[in-house]
Amino acid sequence: MKSLSQVSANSVWKIAALAILVWGASATATAQTARIQTSSLDHLAAKASESVDVNIDESLMQLAAKVFNSKDPDEAKVKHLVSGLKGIYVKVFEFEKEGEYVVADLESIRSQLRGPGWNKIVNVRSKKEGSVDVYLMTSGSQVLGLAVLAVDAKEIAVVNILGNIDLERLSALEGQFGVPDLSIEKPKRKN
């Protein structure tokens, strides 16, 4: 028969294990919520003149942050840029002519961005034609991720960056790590 102390010890371990599981599950859920699912767009690849799909997950982001040399000024900038990022996911479709996609094709993306946690950043300016909408997901004061939906008559671009990201970093990432040129004007710094 188990002694009271043994029972208590077992209970404590079980509770601790449960707590770790719950914490792990909630942490995973938090990390996943900023990820936009874009597979509903995949059928457009057949109509597109060109389609690009980029997936840089957390392990690759960590790798990039780790291997760039802090002592090299250029590499230090990149290291700083990617530190705190947990993933970059990009999907771009370019069409030869207008009318190759319909508004409904984008609804699955837009409905996710209407979900809890996502807020559209107003006053984002882009030199690109069409619309460039930028959404930020936050939890309290913590930024969980960012999503960009750039659409014009002949192009759809969905950029989803997980982790600590802001407009300035997004602008700096353009042309690197698979992030396309979104022509987002850098936000002015407050004095």
Does residue 45 belong to the site contacting another protein (CB under 8 A)?
yes
Contact pick of 48, 149, 151, 165 for another protein (by CB under 8 A): 48
Does residue 72 belong to the site contacting another protein (CB under 8 A)?
no
Contact pick of 31, 35, 52, 167 for another protein (by CB under 8 A): 52
Does residue 53 belong to the site contacting another protein (CB under 8 A)?
yes
CA 185/CA 128 separation, integer angstroms: 10
Contact pick of 49, 119, 139, 142 for another protein (by CB under 8 A): 49
Report the amino acid identity of residue 73: P
- Per-residue string for binding with another protein, 13-42, x by CB under 8 A? -----------------------------x
Residue by residue, DSSP assigns 86-127 as EEEEEEEEE-SSTTSS-GGGGHHHHHHHTSTTEEEETT--BS
Q: Which is nearer to another protein, 65 or 121 (CB)?
A: 65
CA 33/CA 142 separation, integer angstroms: 13
| Contact criterion met (CB below 8 Å) for 134 and 158 | no
CA 170/CA 174 separation, integer angstroms: 7
Contact pick of 55, 111, 131, 139 for another protein (by CB under 8 A): 55
- Per-residue string for binding with another protein, 121-160, x by CB under 8 A? ----------------------------------------
β-bridge mates for residue 142, sequence order: 139
